[in-house]
Amino acid sequence: METTPYEMLGGETGVRRLAEAFYDAMVELPEAADLRALHNEDLSGIKRKLFEYLSGWLGGPMIYFEKYGGVCIRSVHARFPIGAAERDQWLLCMREAMRRVNAPPQVAALLDLPFARMAEAMRNRA
Ligand code: HEM
């Protein structure tokens, strides 16, 4: 059976750590200030939701879809002004999170383009 990115990242614990590291990077990296400004003060809810979403997206349990149904993630983002700057800051934070959780280089390389495509798909302005 092909190993999924979910398993390569360490399953539930690993993906939870990745979501945590993503928002830690968003808070700590001065270059991610615009992205931070779009989010609530309290990040506990979004940390959980990103974990739930990535769990299924990475080939693990489809927690987000089981809980919230077939929500269109692009529509959820339509209420936020997402331009090239916010897209690039999201990717910067995800690459930093991958580095912080010591993701195996082959899974970081494998996911870089799919994450870039997802981030571009959320963009709703120049
Ligand atoms: C491209 C730049 C992106 C920006 C600026 C952005 C920004 C945001 C913001 C402001 C929220 C609401 C946070 C809150 O409720 O406190 C959100 C929710 C969310 N984002 Fe993003 N996001 C981006 C890309 C992505 C990508 C690529 C993914 C998935 C791979 C993603 C997954 C999610 C999820 C799962 C939620 C929760 C949605 C819900 O409320 O059910 N986002 N995002």
Task: Please tell me the distance between residue 1's alpha carbon and the centre of ligand 1 in angstroms.
Answer: 31
Predicted local distance difference test score (pLDDT) of residue 52: 98
5-121: which CATH topology?
Globin-like (1.10.490)
Closest atom of ligand 1 relative to the 76 alpha carbon: 38
Closest CA to 119 of 6, 22, 28: 22
Contacts of 22 (CB under 8 A, 6+ apart): 50, 93, 94, 97
**Residue 49, by phi and psi: left (phi above 0), alpha (psi -120 to 50) or beta?**
alpha
Whole-number mean pLDDT of the chain?
96
Task: Tell me the domain boundaries of the chain.
Answer: 5-121
Pocket of ligand 1 (CB under 6 A): 35, 38-40, 46, 49-50, 53, 68, 71, 73, 76-77, 80, 82, 86-87, 90, 118-119, 122
Mean pLDDT to the nearest integer, 93-117:
97
Sequence length of the chain is: 126
Q: What pTM, to 2 d.p., does this model score?
A: 0.95
Show the tokens assigned to 40: 């609530």
Q: What is the pLDDT of residues 46-94, one digit of tens each?
A: 999 999 999 999 999 999 999 999 888 999 999 999 999 999 999 999 9
